[in-house]
Amino acid sequence: MPLTREQRLSLHRRAKDLRKDVVNITNFSGGAHIGGGLSSMDVLVLLYFHYMKIDPQNPGWEDRDRFVLSKGHGAVAYVPVLARRGFFDFEEVKSFNKFGSPFGMHPDSRRIRGCDASTGSLGHGLPMAVGMSLANRLQGRTCKTFCMLGDGECNEGVIWEALMAASHYRLTNLITIVDRNHMMIDGQTEDVMAIEPLADKLAAFGFEVHAVNGHDLDALAGAIERGIAVADEDLNVTAGLKPQAEIRKNGHKPIAIIADTVKGKGVDFMEGQVPWHYGSVDSTLHAKALASIDRYYEAIFAAEGGNNG
């Protein structure tokens, strides 16, 4: 179902607060991967505050939807999302990067409630998400696994090993989302190591590809809902112990979403700036960043027709 105006506004409000959380964490932690955190936020908010079936009171619930942040350096966005979703108190996040904290630059599933996989070394998340999806399907669960990749991360060969496997197994209960923010540490993805034409590559690997604006909640919602619908349809057919060959014959192509995003989205002086892959914000920049987020959302709410911030 498309998002209602109320839902969209509510998700924007959530994303606005969380973008401020990201800026705040970057400020008090001493430094964080803020650019890629901000680019991924709208996808994260849609998943965690609208689509994913999860229970913060029961993080180990077997039938829950899973999320794997393959671009683990996005922890600066992922951790506050988990906190605001109710897995733990945001107060705890104040220890971010500090001695003994559960929260470092990359998420630790053994220490963070609600975190489904430890990630950070690029290329490791998608294979684990493939394993989770295979295991959940084998055990007759109807849950889905969402996996978010970085675009630079797609340089890693093992990503393509995992994509090959997801396609081979017709793993539609896995929904792969690439945060296509066009930048990596050393520059533009197309300058450092070109990954285009990414959609064609994913399609050639056997995926149904949806390339959408990664900050347009409706466009993202449409792609995610297509993924969920395909997963449900296949899971009805393949639930339980079925020979792999049969599943492979009858299943749909798995869904890959390329979320076209802007690195640093919401903070004007960071948007599209390679050096803001990782950075720190002092009190001056901190205030400037928060003010920029306010302006960014004023425009969004104005376009929605009214002051809803």
101 binds other proteins (CB under 8 A): no
| From 8-16, 93-101, 124-132, 209-217, span contacting other proteins (CB under 8 A) | 124-132
Write out the binding residues for other proteins, residues 167-206 only, by CB under 8 A.
Answer: 168-169
Q: Among residues 65 and 179, whose Cβ is nearest to other proteins? A: 65
User: What separation in angstroms does the CA of 128 have from each of 93, 186, 279, 305?
Assistant: 26, 27, 29, 43
| From 85-93, 111-119, 265-273, 278-286, span contacting other proteins (CB under 8 A) | 111-119
Q: How far is the CB of 116 from other proteins (least distance, A)?
A: 7
Site string for other proteins, 34-53 (x = CB under 8 A): --------------------
Instruction: Tell me the site size for other proteins, rule CB under 8 A.
Output: 37
Q: How far is the CB of 202 from other proteins (least distance, A)?
A: 16
Query: Where are the strands (E) in 70-173, listed by range?
Result: 145-150
Please state whether the peptide bond connecting residue 56 to the residue before it is cis, i.e. omega within 30 degrees of 0.
Answer: no
Q: Among residues 207 and 296, whose Cβ is nearest to other proteins? A: 207
Q: Among residues 35 and 127, whose Cβ is nearest to other proteins? A: 127
Q: Which of 127, 150, 251, 254 binds other proteins (CB under 8 A)?
A: 127
226 binds other proteins (CB under 8 A): no
Q: Which of 13, 201, 226, 242 binds other proteins (CB under 8 A)?
A: 242
Task: Tell me which residues touch other proteins (CB under 8 A).
Answer: 62, 66, 68, 109-110, 116-118, 120-121, 123-124, 126-136, 138-139, 157-158, 161-162, 164-165, 168-169, 241-244
